[in-house]
Every structure is written in C-alpha cells, then in structure tokens.
A and B are shown apart, each in its own frame.
Chain A
Amino acid sequence: MASLPLAGSARLPILAGMTPRRLLRALLPALSLSLILIGIAWLNPRAISYFGFTLMLNLAIPIALATIAQMFVITGNDLDLSIGTFVGFVGCVTATWLHDAPLFGALVLLVSIGAYAALGALIHVRKLPSIVVTLGMSFVWQGLAILLLPKPGGKAPDWLLQLMSFKPPWVPFPIIAAVVIAVVAHIGLMRTSYGAILRGSGGNPIAISRAGWSLLKTKVTMFTLAGIFGVLSGMALIGITTSADANIGNGYTLLSIAGVILGGGEFVGGRVSPIGAVIGALTLALAASPLLTFMHIPPDWQVGANGAILIIVLAARALISRREG
C-alpha cells in the first residue's frame, strides 16, 4: 500500500513535497471514488463501459459545476444556501428565454451573475451572515423560477442539446467535462497569484487586508465566480434534461456542500481543493445514479447512500488527521 501513493506523487506534480499523511489525506477523495467504482464493477461488470459511464455520470456535469460554485463561496468562509434554487432559475431561463430570444436570455443570465456579485458586496459591506442572506435569496430565485415557468416545460436551445449529447471517441463526455472543469478551477484558484489572494482572504483576511488587498474585491470576485459556475450548471442541467421545472435544482444546495467537503474542503480557513471537489461531485453523482436501481440497491436508500459515504469519508479523514497530530 505504501508504494502506491508514492507512485502517484511521481506522476502528479501537485502532490509532490507532501508528507505521507497529507498525501493520504489529499488522495482520500480519489480513493473513495475508486472504492465506489470497484463496488459498482463488482455488482455489475457491464456498467464499466463507455455506455455505462455515460449513463451513470450523466448528471455529474451540472453537479460538479454547482459544487465548484459552492467551493468559491466556501473559500471565502461563507456558505451559499441559494445555489440550488439559483441553478433551477437559470434552468428555467435557459429553457424559455434563451431558447426563444437568445440575446435577451443571455442578458438575463448576465444580470443574475451581477446579482451574485452585488450579494457578495452586500454581505461584505454590511458584515451580514451569508447563511441568512443566501437563505432569503433561495426564496427569491425560486419565486422568479415559478413566475417564469409555473408548470414544467420549456425547451433547451439546440446548440446546448448538441453540446451535452456530444459523443467523443474512447472517453465518455462526462469524464472529459469533469477533467476540464477540475483543471480550469485548479489553475485559476491554486496556480495564479490572485487565486492565492482569494484563498488567503478566507484563511487570514486581516493579513490580506494589511498587505493592501481589498477584501471587498475578493468577496465580490468569489461570489461572481460562484454566479458564473451556477449559470453553467443550470445550462448544463437543461442540456441533459431537455426541458425545465422550477424545482429542478433544489437538491443541489446540499449536494454541492457535501461535494466540497467530500473533496477535502474545510468550512473555514480558505482550505479547499477544486480537483477534490469535482471528484466529490462525481462520487455523489454515482451514488445517486439511476443505474443503481438496476443493481439491487433500492431507490429508497440512494439518498442514504450519499449520507453514509459522507460519514465514512469524514471518519477516515478524522482518523488520518488525528494521527497527524
């Protein structure tokens, strides 16, 4: 076992220079995903195929995007309880205005990203608890979504449908998309100098502020990024489901928080991992996959499976951290 993580570090430069325990901690999300995949392969070997992955990971793209959105907010020591209904609202805009009047639809989506930025500014300026502000906003987005689409319906724009049903050779599209999302978020937040400032604004805001950086600007940037990824998530979701429903994204709030934490993120201190968050989202998507119903796991227990995975991974992490001391 001991040689396995070391072999990994040679291939992945991001893991170089870590102590074995920190390495183990960083690899925990990947390990839990592998364990689930092994479980699925054991229950149904035919699922491990191009078609199987496409089917199982279908909804992983919007979940991964929503998780990255939540991750940006958590990086700044905040929490977004409205991301789920926001994804639902974006879905409704995508299936109606973006289909019928693309320019106006795009404008509405831009304005909604602006609303996210304004929210970040409001939270910072008035020193408000983000949990309550976003709680209120979750009603606002849901209300707007219902006003826009009182009954399930609408239609996704054709270009979006084509994009989401893209079938590349060899590797299933959801896996390529997940890798792209993880790499983009990783480079942006972990490899750029302003990314370090953003993480620092969660880890030690006073130090960042003394060093001359505007905390208002970091907060607004973080919420804007969350808005952008929330919009992408809603659009991806509608590209898969082809039509919308005002309640379509409601489950994403809790899923996105769980994904960030599964991926090794922590609630305070700007300690997050974009790659881990995407892996966490994939793990949750697999556990909630419709394919599980064909594998003797009753649908009743799919939500419970998510909870159990969360608890097991956190228990493993607590065990590793305790030894780390």
Chain B
Amino acid sequence: MTIVRTLIGKPWIWSFLGALAVWLAAIIFTGGYGAGGMLTAALSLAVFMVIVGVGQMFVITLGPGNVDLSLPANIGLASAVAMKVMDGSDAMVAIGLAAALATGMAIGAANYLLIWALRIPPIIATLSASFIIQSIDISYGRGLQIKPPPGFADFANVQLLGVPILAILTVLFTVGAGVALQRMVYGRSVTAIGQNIRAAWLAGVPVGRIRFLTYTLSGTLGGLNGALLAGYFRGANVDIGNEYLLASIAVVVIGGTSVAGGKANVPGVWGAALFLVLLLTMLNTFGVSAGVRLLLTGLVIVGVITAAGGQKATR
C-alpha cells in the first residue's frame, strides 16, 4: 500500500496511467490484435519527442518566459547538415552526427547570445533566430536529394526483441538527465534559477553560465534529434521538425513539469510522449479522420492542463 501511495504522490504517474489507458482502449477495440506492435511503434516515435522534450524541459525550468521556439528550424537544418556530411556513406556517419550536434550547439549558443546581448525575452530571441535558421535551411537544402547512409538508417530502425535500440539508448540518456537534474550542481542550479533568479544569483549560482549551458543543451539535443529523424524516416526535409515545437512543449507540461519554472520532471517526459503517441495510435485504430484526431488531441491537452491547473499563473 505504501508503494501505491508513494506512486500516486508522483506528478509523473498520471502521464503513464494516461498512456496505459489509451493503449488498453486501442487493443480492446482491435480485440487484442497488434498490442505489441503498437507499443513498439509508440516507443520508436516517442523517442524523438523525449529527446527534444528533455532539452525543452531544462529551458522551461529556468522560469517564466523561457522557452525554445527555434527547435523545429534547428531540427530541419541539423537533419540536412547530417545527411549532406554523411553523403550516403557509412564511413561518414560519426562525422555527420558530430556535424549535426555542432549545428545544434551553435544554434543554442546563438539563441543565448541574442537573449543576453539584446536583453530580449527568450521567446522573441528564439523566434527571430528560428526565422533566420529556416531561411538558411531552405537555401542550404535546396534541390538536394538527401538520403541517409544505409547503415545509419538501419541503425535508427533496428529493434531488440521488439524494443527499438534508439528507445533503449534514450532511456539511458534520460536516466542521465534525471541524475543531472536531481543530483548534480548543474541541475540544482537550473531549478534554483527557475524558483527565484535573484535569490539564486545572490546565493552564488553563476546564472549567466547556467542559462547559456541550458540553451546550448537544448540546441544540441535539437541537432541530435534532426540527425536521428532523418535516419529513421530515411531522408531529410525542411518540414521534418515542424511538429516538434508543439510536441516538445506539450510533453514537458503533460509530464508534470511546472510551466512557471523551478520544478522539473524527467520520467514524466517519457510518460507524456508515450501518451501522446498512443493517443494518436488509438484514434488511428478507431479510424477517425485527421480533423477529429487534431480536435481530440487539442481537447485532451486543454483538459489535462485544466485538471492539473492551480499552478502559479505565468505566461
């Protein structure tokens, strides 16, 4: 009983329960058919939401107004850079991945440079940056037939007993992120800044450096996601990252991280990503149209936040 009580006290449990509920609803509808396949597919797609979600989570935890709107453009550009550097050759995979990471890192650093130098709200800084990155991507990726090397594409799609290898690696990565958040000076500093930036500064937290690191981290994860997406979907295009703006914010909030900052939650990101992907899977098995799918997704997001509500109001 105490285990149950401890579990119910965790903010992330609800997203997992939600994921379980929609999965059960879907397999009851199909009569048990394809239950495992559904989970495998959900894990494969949830990975991409989790990777950017973790970056976005650290950014949002910095406090009100902190959000990275440049992720979609970042993912698009990094996927194009990765595919171009790899150039269809398996020997270049490591260098291509490094190039994508470097692209994302540079975008994150540029975002913070704008925030710091112009003293503008992060929303506007990352928004302006994303306009420019989008243009660079369109002009850079123009007319290219960008396909990943076969070895990289296979790696992104490979499964171990029905569990995608990317999902296993991402679980390890999120465990690391959880340790960084709860047990390391970096994570504690991010939380402290989110709770009260002035108090954190007075307490000797290097506020500027931590914020710089956080935006760079978010950018780097965007770059990684771009390369992996291009591998998984066997090709890069300008619009590949579009859905990850809303998805990255949604998984953070549904996962139990406070939008007001100062309170983060890593397991919830996984639960929320699985919930969103399985929700779409369920609606697909019900055979509803794209319009109804979007409508219900939106109502669920509004419903979840209304039920969770009661937080300190911010933006």
* Residues in chain A within 8 A of chain B (CB atoms): 77-79, 122-123, 126-133, 135-148, 150, 254, 257-258, 261, 267-268, 298, 300-308, 310-311, 314-315, 318, 321
In the complex, A170 Cα to B260 Cα: how many Å? 52
Q: Is B185 an interface residue (CB 8 A)?
A: no
Beta-carbon nearest neighbor of A78 in chain B: B315
A308 touches B313 (CB 8 A): no
In the complex, A170 Cα to B231 Cα: how many Å? 57
Interface residues of chain A: helix, strand, loop or mixed (majority)? helix
Distance between B198 CB and nearest chain A CB, rounded to angstroms: 16
Known pairs A129-B314, A257-B124, A310-B124; A135 contacts B289 (CB<8 A):
no
Residues of A within 8 A of B129 (CB): 307
In the complex, A307 Cα to B246 Cα: how many Å? 20
Q: Is B209 an interface residue (CB 8 A)?
A: no
The 0/1 profile, CB within 8 Å of A marked 1, for residues 269-300 of chain B is 00000000000000000000111111111111
Known pairs A267-B123, A311-B118, A315-B118; A146 contacts B290 (CB<8 A):
yes
A132 touches B120 (CB 8 A): no
B291 touches A304 (CB 8 A): no
Distance between A264 CB and nearest chain B CB, rounded to angstroms: 13
Task: Bin chain B's interface residue count.
Answer: 35 or more
Contact for A136 among B138, B302, B310, CB less than 8 A: B302
In the complex, A147 Cα to B260 Cα: how many Å? 34
A314 touches B298 (CB 8 A): no
B295 touches A307 (CB 8 A): no
In the complex, A182 Cα to B312 Cα: how many Å? 34
Q: Is B114 an interface residue (CB 8 A)?
A: yes
In the complex, A126 Cα to B305 Cα: how many Å? 9
A136 touches B291 (CB 8 A): no
In the complex, A136 Cα to B136 Cα: how many Å? 30
Q: Is B200 an interface residue (CB 8 A)?
A: no
* Residues in chain B within 8 A of chain A (CB atoms): 65, 67, 69, 114, 117-121, 123-124, 127-132, 134-136, 138-139, 142, 246, 249-250, 253, 259-260, 289-302, 305-306, 309-315
In the complex, A314 Cα to B290 Cα: how many Å? 39
B291 touches A144 (CB 8 A): yes
Q: For B123, B134, B292, B298, which residue has the most chain A Cβ atoms within 10 angstroms?
A: B298
Distance between B6 CB and nearest chain A CB, rounded to angstroms: 27
A143 touches B134 (CB 8 A): no
Contact for B305 among A136, A139, A141, A305, CB less than 8 A: A136
B292 touches A261 (CB 8 A): no
Contact for B118 among A78, A127, A318, CB less than 8 A: A318
In the complex, A150 Cα to B290 Cα: how many Å? 9
A307 touches B139 (CB 8 A): no
* A–B complex contacts, Cβ < 8 Å, 8 sampled: A127-B312, A128-B313, A132-B249, A147-B289, A268-B65, A300-B135, A307-B130, A311-B118
B128 touches A143 (CB 8 A): no
Q: How many A-B residue pairs have CB under 8 A?
A: 163
Q: For A78, A150, A258, A303, which residue has the most chain B Cβ atoms within 10 angstroms?
A: A303
A127 touches B309 (CB 8 A): yes
Distance between B244 CB and nearest chain A CB, rounded to angstroms: 13
Residues of A within 8 A of B311 (CB): 127-129
Residues of A within 8 A of B290 (CB): 143, 146, 150
Distance between A202 CB and nearest chain B CB, rounded to angstroms: 12
Distance between A198 CB and nearest chain B CB, rounded to angstroms: 17
Residues of A within 8 A of B294 (CB): 139-140, 142-143, 146
Known pairs A146-B294, A258-B127, A311-B118; A133 contacts B302 (CB<8 A):
yes
B296 touches A131 (CB 8 A): no
B296 touches A143 (CB 8 A): yes
In the complex, A311 Cα to B131 Cα: how many Å? 10
Beta-carbon nearest neighbor of A141 in chain B: B298
A310 touches B313 (CB 8 A): no
In the complex, A75 Cα to B86 Cα: how many Å? 48
A133 touches B305 (CB 8 A): yes
B124 touches A307 (CB 8 A): no
A267 touches B121 (CB 8 A): yes
Distance between A134 CB and nearest chain B CB, rounded to angstroms: 9
A132 touches B253 (CB 8 A): yes
In the complex, A131 Cα to B311 Cα: how many Å? 13
Known pairs A126-B309, A129-B315, A307-B128; A136 contacts B135 (CB<8 A):
no
In the complex, A77 Cα to B129 Cα: how many Å? 23
Beta-carbon nearest neighbor of B302 in chain A: A136
Residues of B within 8 A of A146 (CB): 289-291, 294
Beta-carbon nearest neighbor of B246 in chain A: A135
B249 touches A300 (CB 8 A): no
Residues of B within 8 A of A128 (CB): 305-306, 309, 311, 313
Known pairs A257-B127, A311-B118; A138 contacts B291 (CB<8 A):
no
B123 touches A147 (CB 8 A): no
B131 touches A129 (CB 8 A): no
A254 touches B138 (CB 8 A): no
Known pairs A304-B132, A307-B129, A311-B118; A131 contacts B67 (CB<8 A):
yes
Known pairs A131-B67, A131-B259, A132-B301; A140 contacts B132 (CB<8 A):
no
Q: For B134, B301, B302, which residue has the most chain A Cβ atoms within 10 angstroms?
A: B302
Residues of B within 8 A of A305 (CB): 135
Residues of B within 8 A of A268 (CB): 65
Q: For A136, A257, A258, which residue has the most chain B Cβ atoms within 10 angstroms?
A: A136
In the complex, A305 Cα to B135 Cα: how many Å? 8
